[in-house]
Amino acid sequence: MKKIAQFLLLSALLALQACKGGQETKTVAESKEPPLRFCYMICDSKQLSSERFAPFSAYLSEKLGRKVEMVLANTFDVEGLAKKNEFDFFHVNSAVAITLKERYKAEFLGVDVQGRNGHKATGTLIARKESGIKTIADIKGKSVIFGPALAPFGYMAQYAMMLENGVDPETDLARYDIPPGALKHDKIMYGVEFGKYDVGAAPRIDLDRMAAADIINLDNYNIIAESEPMPYCTIGAMPHVDAGLREKVKNLLLNLKKDETVLVDGEVLKVLKRMGLDGFHPAIDSEYDIIREKLKRCNMAPYDKH
């Protein structure tokens, strides 16, 4: 009986090992592969972006059995890093993602899911109700505050809507400005809220966020116009990344659950919650065509003609 029991135990162990045969079993410490470099576009500030993406990087490291290093980059610096081959994967806004695909043959893997439109987002033009500004035509001769110059939902969408409705931001406005420093989308709202600008170009997702936090009251605003929903921030891979590794990362994205946790600096954190996301959606290239059209209309990279 003892020999039978030992035989059964050995068989079970071998079977278990066989089941694990197709899985990654190395730990990060055991891996001899070079670290993967994941470029994250800085959204609000370097510190906030580091805190936001550290759990996701740790999650990928844990699942891949390979260290994942964060490369935090300002929006305008991402393309330069791509040109010098300084990262393997990226998380950037959808306009920058298109530049990486068109100029450097990157591949889209997944799209952030957040807010009312899921994996898509919209840009709005807003004004305080007492301003009397209700239509895009009313913006002529007014002051406008845009978001970052490469932002699809704080600049591109609104610039395109003006052009499509007969308002040229370069000639028909009293002036327009782009706020410096961090938290640019919040500064759009504050600029309109406190009367420094007549009109703001705000992502709808940030309007909703600030309203939910009682920072602003949307009842006090006219949403003059809102763009079509378009793909939100995008995760992708550079062309030198092995196809098998790209697929692994893609599967990890699309199967990331809301309750998934990871240990970062001794603290257990929920990966998606720290990122401020509900999950990821498969990236469908044809859904980016509307952004490509607007980038061309606005003379923006990668289609700019100066």
**Residue 181: predicted pLDDT:** 84
Domain boundaries 123-227, corresponding CATH code: 3.40.190.10
Q: Is 248 exposed, middle or buried (0-12, 13-18, 19+ CB in 10 A)?
A: middle
Q: Where are the alpha helices (DSSP H) in 20-154?
A: 46-64, 78-83, 94-104
β-bridge mates for residue 125, sequence order: 201, 225
**Residue 96: predicted pLDDT:** 98
**Residue 182: predicted pLDDT:** 80
Region at 233 (left for phi over 0; alpha for psi -120 to 50; beta for the rest)? beta
Residue from 204, 209, 207 nearest 153 by CA = 204
Contacts of 39 (CB under 8 A, 6+ apart): 71, 72, 73, 78, 81, 82, 86, 87, 89, 90, 91, 92
Is the entire prediction scored with pTM above 0.85?
Answer: yes
The superfamily in CATH containing domain 30-114+231-297 is Periplasmic binding protein-like II (3.40.190.10)
**Residue 112: predicted pLDDT:** 98
Q: Find tokens 């001769």 and name the residue.
A: 141
Q: Where are the domains of the chain?
A: 30-114+231-297, 123-227
**How confident is the prediction along the chain (306 residues), in pLDDT tens digits per residue?**
444 444 443 344 334 444 444 444 456 655 678 999 999 999 889 999 999 999 999 999 999 999 999 999 999 999 999 999 999 999 999 999 999 999 999 999 999 999 999 999 999 999 999 999 999 999 999 999 999 999 999 999 999 999 999 999 999 999 999 998 888 899 999 999 999 999 999 999 999 999 999 999 999 999 999 999 999 999 999 999 999 999 999 999 999 999 999 999 999 999 999 999 999 999 999 999 999 999 999 999 999 986
